[in-house]
Structures are given as C-alpha cells and as structure tokens.
Amino acid sequence: MIFPETWWGVLLSYVTVFASGGLLCMLAQVLIIKTRLTPARILVIFLIAGIILQTVGLYEPLANVLRSGIAVPITGFGASLAKGAIETAAEEGVLGAFAGGLIQTAYGVGIAVAASYVVSVIFKPKSK
C-alpha cells in the first residue's frame, strides 16, 4: 500500500483515484472535442492502451499507484484481457491465449449482464 492507513492516507488515496480517473476522462473528452474520433473508436483506443500497458509490464506499477482510477475504466478491462491471455498461453500454449482473456473477464461481464437485466426489470425501459 502506498499511503499509510491514517485518515490522511485514506484521503490522499481518494484524491489520487479521483484525479487519475478524471485525467483519463478528460483525455477522452479532449479526443472527442479536438478530433473526429467517435466515442466507440476512443473506447477501443483505451482498451488497446490497457492491453499494451499490461503486455509491456507497466500496468501493474501504475495500478499500484493509481488504483481504481486506472482499473475501473476500459483500460482495466483491456489489461485483464491481456493478463488472462498471457497467463493461459504460458500454461496451455497458443490456444490458451484465445481462451485466457475470456476466462479472466467472464465474471465481470456476467455481473454486468445480470445487473443490466435487473435494472431493466425495475425501471421498464422504452424503445425510441
């Protein structure tokens, strides 16, 4: 843990997470405003950035400092895909690389689908 377990350390941790997550969001907003990139393409850029950071070994040190500020956005999902693919490929060979990312992220995707269903039942969405 980077910060001591005092009230000041907890506050500093929250500030770090808020600032790092905010910087990622600000970067995405600047890309939307200043370029012709669509939000979907920006999402893919962040996903691939997470994959690259995990592949070259920079994601874990960044995650230790920035915590959920970098883990919650789509960069964390990309890093999880890459980590699963790398670990499973090391154990099972080349074919493991295809399954590893899915295995690593299946729990989070399943929770997102289940939560989406529950919210849709509660709030009765309407089509446009």
DSSP 71-108: HSSHHHHHHHHHHHHHHHHHHH-HHHHHHHHHHHHHHH
Residue 1 has pLDDT above 60, yes or no: no
Give 111-121 pLDDT, tens digit per residue: 999 999 999 89
The three-state (H, E, C) secondary structure of 30-69, written as one string: HHHHHCCCCHHHHHHHHHHHHHHHHHCCCHHHHHHHHCHH
Q: Give the pLDDT band of residue 3 (cuts 50, 70, 90).
A: low
**Nearest Cα to Cα of residue 21 among 67, 77, 56, 78:** 67
